[in-house]
Structure 1
């Protein structure tokens, strides 16, 4: 018997096999989970997700436009028809227009801000609303966030402001859904090469920075993020809600460059 034997859920936001959402899904699948997947509208995105989900026998693979209330409602109705009650939902969705990510936050456009907040933040609220209707026995909801919502990370710009709002949403949704025995948590991972990360200007430099500064002296692996996401969505975390779990080799606890200072003095590149 695996941790997810008999458990059924929905994963929103897998883009390809490099996605953190897919790393988490693989860990849950290995523990016996049944998972349905959504993808961005369009044949190209459907092919990407089907390439991963078809071989594992996913019973539900469907498009979802989180900017349309009726589309989110349809997805969860399909999930209920396919699986009955759900036990977990993974929300791994974020977007901002590329010009509004690349520029300094002070120069982000009004429309770019609205689009980024709607897709990256409000989508969690409406997903949680419909997920709650699909979890009569309680359950777990997790979303993907990042340290750039807590502190300034060069190049993260508008998305950092979105992640700050997402972190606050986790706490308020945890409060709202607590009486239904539904937990809501965020997973804050260190730098991982994904399709979304490629849009961040200084993404390539972050991995080296984490290796130099973090207490463990290295960056995370995709497997570690997968394990941590699985933990948050499993019954092992039944007493945890409203939390942001950092999986970053301890980088977030540092108030100085730490051992990186000595490395710099010794002439090592960071």
Structure 2
């Protein structure tokens, strides 16, 4: 649950949330936190099937903009940012919470990955964030913050994470380079690295329940992270109090990543 917030610390700020699939999504946890702190939100959904799940959540957020966004569909990403420019004229933050790898690519060995599967994985999971940063830059006239979601498997070999680990490593590197390039404009960039979460995306990883159990038993806090934990920590980084924090990979995992 999002804690009761009395101060609207992000009131007046406007942001785009990409990646809500249902009420278990990390992006939903972020959206709830940003809205609780007073931010106004634009929301996207993947396709018509997903819209049935996302539209009620967008209404709960009182989002004035709800649009389709399949990053593989030509022109859709540009249309979203064009609409934001027309409606708000500016943008303060973007939450990029999407990743994808074809099943036969994700579940196979890295050395066996087919070229088309590798390119699809990198395109959706990494390049789409770079493209969003490009499109957001001119709208962040007073500075802003760009967020993307990563995982510990970018740094260490995690069983069954496979090619997604490569994509997340590239994504984290992109965060650092983009932070360096856009920092002079007051635009900050972060990768958020939650601990294991029972999301729809995670359901594609074999033996994921074992990973959840190991995380809970091993993390110093002896607890699993929730989408609300991720949301509140992410929202803090969008506040002006965090204006000198950029280029970071922030672990929200109860300390799991520090344990051997």
TM range (shorter): over 0.9
Offset at residue 234 of structure 1 (A): 2.4
Q: Are 2:118 and 1:124 aligned?
A: no
Offset at residue 163 of structure 1 (A): 0.5
Which SS does the other structure have where 2:126 is aligned?
helix
User: After superposition, where does 1:106-145 map in structure 2 within 5 Å?
Assistant: 106-145=111-150
Residue 247 of structure 2 corresponds to 242
Q: Are 2:79 and 1:74 aligned?
A: yes
Structure 1 distance, partners of 2:22, 2:165, is 23
**For 2:166, which of 141, 161, 165 is the aligned residue?**
161
Please provide the CA RMSD for this pair.
1.2
Residue 86 of structure 1 corresponds to 91
Tell me which of the two structures has the higher relative contact order, counting C-alpha pairs closer than 8 angstroms and 6 or more residues apart.
2
Count of equivalent residues? 254
- Deviations, residues 62-113 of structure 1 (Å, cap 9, x unaligned): 0112235632221101011122211111011100101111122222211100
User: After superposition, where does 1:1-270 map in structure 2 within 5 Å?
Assistant: 1-40=7-46, 42-68=47-73, 70-255=75-260
Indicate if the aligned counterparts of 2:32 and 2:61 stay in contact, CA closer than 8 A.
no
Indicate if the aligned counterparts of 1:64 and 1:72 stay in contact, CA closer than 8 A.
yes
Unaligned runs of 5+ in 1: 256-270
Structure 1 distance, partners of 2:21, 2:88, is 23
Larger radius of gyration: 1
Unaligned runs of 5+ in 2: 1-6
Which SS does the other structure have where 2:247 is aligned?
coil
Aligned structure 1 segments of 4 or more residues deviating by more than 3 angstroms: none
Offset at residue 49 of structure 1 (A): 1.1
Structure 1 distance, partners of 2:226, 2:62, is 26
